[in-house]
Structure 1
Amino acid sequence: MKSAILDPKWKFRDHIIQLILVTLVIILCGVYLSMPGVIPVRSEIMAIPFSVKSIVIIGYQLLTEHTQRFSKWASIKANAILNCLETVFWLTLIILKFMGISRQCTGGSCGVNVILTLIIMVVFVLTVHVAVLSVIERRNFKRYGK
């Protein structure tokens, strides 16, 4: 019996939710970095390039999977690899954010930083789910050719 959470239709939905949350991460990073008294350190700045990277990767996957024009560049193996790498990057960012919060957390900037970290944790959970779905899709393709 197949679990409903492992249904491939979730991959598209997860990608859309990820795009929304990653855009929110970029906005909150901008708000956090523009707050007075905040000294930008690597753990605070790394969320922006990680978010842009995710937008590019998700854009590639959505375009190649859901449009006829770009389908010639589609690769199930590449999608599985990219989605597995995404989980590593977002986990690294969670660790960096916790290190940043433990070093310095005061006032309103602390609240924004904690909210930002919680959103990043949700993005991480979604990336794990998409990675699992991609690996299952890759195995099914290898086994059945579909």
Structure 2
Amino acid sequence: MSIIQEFKEFAVKGNMMDLAIGVIIGGAFGKIIDSLVKDIIMPLITVITGGGVDFTQKFFVLGDNPNNLTSLDELTKAGVNVLTYGSFLTVFLNFLILAWVVFLLVKVLNRIRKKQEVAPEPEATPADIELLREIRDELKKRPQI
């Protein structure tokens, strides 16, 4: 079998297609979570913390800042070494929310799968046991002497 033929069989298999679909949907889902954090959650946190808190603008200047620049954009354009922990916090919050949502989805899917599983039917009673039960029942019906 040629290597091209093997690759075609691999690429067309259901698992490969399922993986590709999962990656595409996962990427889109990641964008939704990014928007949720950036556009909804972070503004709420800003309001709760008293306003004026923008985590993307939180940073530490590492090294010299000869022009005493104060904004992150100015610092990065000037080539000053900056530790932007606010961006990290935002990405970390994205990750936590995404992980929580995936956990809940897996939990729901597992619950659905358990409901769909049919309880196995009890094994049929062997014929000799059935016969013995019939004999027992017939003996119970007879009058006692």
TM-score by length of 1: 0.29
Higher relative contact order (CA 8 A, sep 6+): 1
Structure with the greater alpha carbon radius of gyration: 2
Q: Which has the higher helix share?
A: 1
TM-score by length of 2: 0.29
